Amino acid sequence: MKWRKLSGEAIDIPIKDKVLQTILAEKALGNQLKVCIGTDSQVKGNIIHFATVIVFLRMQRGGFMYVSKFSENRKMGLKERMITEVSKSIEVAYNLCDLLDRYDIALEVHADINTDPVFKSNVALKEAMGYILGMGFKFKAKPNAFASSSCADKVV
């Protein structure tokens, strides 16, 4: 996965190294961090565009994020696409969790899935929740899943 800052500036080192640099810099400034990871997608014809974000929240002091975008050229049903989003987020969270644990930084995985059964994305709620919780991560869904439903949604 290729990563960049929201400004568009490329991150040319492995994301885990960049996250470590970020943690050390923010801790040096006295900031307490929380990390939220989420993915969103949009379908355009036969191409599905995905965006995964790593959101760093500075407690009481705003936040910032790193972005990775990618596409798949194939058809997917809604449920498969929702679970694919969750899978992409879990992949990133799993890669970073030992580092975040070492520095005692809270981690949440956000799913762009609505908890209200009226909405179509609700079809994947139970599977997504089980997947995220089963991997040992804290789970958030809409309307509390801002990393996927707001941050990733804006850049996909």
pLDDT of residue 9: 97
Q: What is the pTM of this model?
A: 0.93
Strands (E) in the chain, as ranges, are 3-5, 10-11, 33-44, 47-58, 63-73, 106-114, 138-142
Q: What residue ranges do the domains of the chain occupy?
A: 3-155
The one-letter code for the residue type at 4 is R
Query: Do residues 96 and 53 make contact, with C-beta atoms less than 8 angstroms apart?
Result: no
Longest dimension (CA), the chain: 47
Tokens encoding 24: 């050390």
pLDDT of residue 118: 87
pLDDT of residue 53: 98
- pLDDT (tens digit, 0 to 9) for every residue of the chain, 156 residues total? 899 999 999 999 999 999 999 999 999 999 999 999 999 999 998 899 999 999 999 988 899 999 999 999 988 999 999 999 999 999 999 999 999 999 999 999 999 998 888 888 888 898 999 999 999 999 999 889 999 999 999 898
